[in-house]
Amino acid sequence: MARLHERERTPREREGSPWTGLGAVLAKEMADHLTSARMFILEILIVLTAVGTVYAALQGIRSGGQTKFLFLRLFTTAREPLPAFIGFLGFLVPLIAIAMAFDAINDEFNRRTISRVLAQPIYRDALLMGKFLAGLFTLAVVFSAIWLLIFGLGILGLGVPPTGEETARALWFLLVTIFYGGIWMSLAMTYSIIFRSPATAALASIATWLFFTVFWDMVVGLVVRLFQPAQVFSLEQALQLAQLELNLARFSPNTLFAEATIILLRPSVRSLGIVLPIQLDRALLGSPLPLSQSLVLIWPHLTGLIAVTILLFVVGYVLFQRREIRA
């Protein structure tokens, strides 16, 4: 009879929405991020970097004598010994995102609070989504504050307000930066689900970032050499190898971020691929592209950044749903 009753028993269904408690998790995690000592140290580091690079950029702009897109030059102008601000961002954004998410899930297991949280009317869906959105919104708040700081320093240093074109391009640059950080945040959160130790998750995240930052170009060069013929090859084959190298390099989030920022912050750049002399015939060289055309060039990059962020989050979501949770 007991077996008969077990066969007739239907699976337990969820009661209510799977996103119940999402707002509570989001508010709690954002408060933890914004008030933590870790975030305070990172914010000080970013502010000092922004102030230093903008001051150096102002000195370079004043001595350069150019009058177009001055506020965009605040992000791209380098002056010894400091690099441009976008150079610092390419290095700092992944580290900040990893620092915010490498212990997002495994810390709950180590403190044995995960069962208590899920015992409340909060599903795993809301818990994971709330932690991810809290980190992403925190990144948006921090980078928006830095964006406003740079524009404020630019107005004080240059004495002129930014144009609408400059403001729109800088806003798109801010959006690309946030999604670039979202990739590394979702990666670190996935490692936080896979590894029980936060130290292991942090090392795995940093190792992945170092691989794409330092070693990916070496791997691409080796792969291209495998397809390179031993004998003298034609111009068409050389173009195909160059295009292959460029496509493989774009598998790296760093390359996507770098190319997107170049197009947005340097309107005079009109192409990201290989340009032949015949393609420059009757082209207006030196004239800046309108924002709409620049967005057409970087739209695949922005789509790729968003797609990789969603893909990594889905992988972490599936692993977290299959994770055994004990009281």
- Higher-confidence position of 242 and 130: 130
Instruction: Look at residue 58 and tell me if it is in a domain.
Output: yes
Question: How many domains in the chain?
Answer: 1
Rounded to an integer, what distance in angstroms lies between the CA atom of residue 90 and that of residue 255?
10
Instruction: Look at residue 74 and tell me if it is in a domain.
Output: yes
Return all residues near 168 (Cβ < 8 A) that are at least 6 apart.
Answer: 291
Q: What percentage of residues in the chain have a pLDDT greater than 70? A: 86
The pTM (predicted TM-score) of the whole model is 0.84
Instruction: Name the residue with tokens 């000592």.
Output: 37
**Mean of the pLDDT values across residues 216-231?**
80
The confidence score (pLDDT) of residue 307 equals 92
Enter the tokens of residue 122: 């909060």
Instruction: Look at residue 299 and tell me if it is in a domain.
Output: yes
Which letter does DSSP use for residue 14 in this model? P
Instruction: Look at residue 53 and tell me if it is in a domain.
Output: yes
Return all residues near 286 (Cβ < 8 A) that are at least 6 apart.
Answer: 268
Rounded to an integer, what distance in angstroms lies between the CA atom of residue 282 and that of residue 313?
46
Which of 121, 137, 119 shows the shortest CA–CA distance to 21?
121
Instruction: Report residue 165's pLDDT band, with 50, 70 and 90 as the boundaries.
Output: confident
Instruction: Look at residue 108 and tell me if it is in a domain.
Output: yes
Instruction: Report residue 176's pLDDT band, with 50, 70 and 90 as the boundaries.
Output: very high
Instruction: Look at residue 276 and tell me if it is in a domain.
Output: no
Instruction: Look at residue 142 and tell me if it is in a domain.
Output: yes
Residue type, 298: I
Rounded to an integer, what distance in angstroms lies between the CA atom of residue 131 and that of residue 262?
31
pLDDT of 221 strictly over 60? yes
Are 312 and 190 contacting, i.e. CB atoms less than 8 angstroms apart?
A: yes
- Higher-confidence position of 287 and 321: 321
Enter the tokens of residue 234: 């034609």
Instruction: Look at residue 104 and tell me if it is in a domain.
Output: yes
Q: Which of 4-18, 95-109, 127-141, 263-277 has the least mean pLDDT?
A: 4-18
> What does the longest C-alpha to C-alpha distance in the chain come to?
91
Enter the tokens of residue 4: 């008969």
Burial 152-163 (b: 16+ CB within 10 A, else e): ebbeebbeeebe
First to last CA, the chain: 31
pLDDT of 116 strictly over 70? yes
Instruction: Determine the structural domain holding residue 120 and report its residue range.
Output: 17-227+234-271+286-321
Residue 93 burial (CB count, 10 A):
24
**Mean of the pLDDT values across residues 199-216?**
91
The confidence score (pLDDT) of residue 107 equals 84
Instruction: Report residue 57's pLDDT band, with 50, 70 and 90 as the boundaries.
Output: confident
The confidence score (pLDDT) of residue 5 equals 45
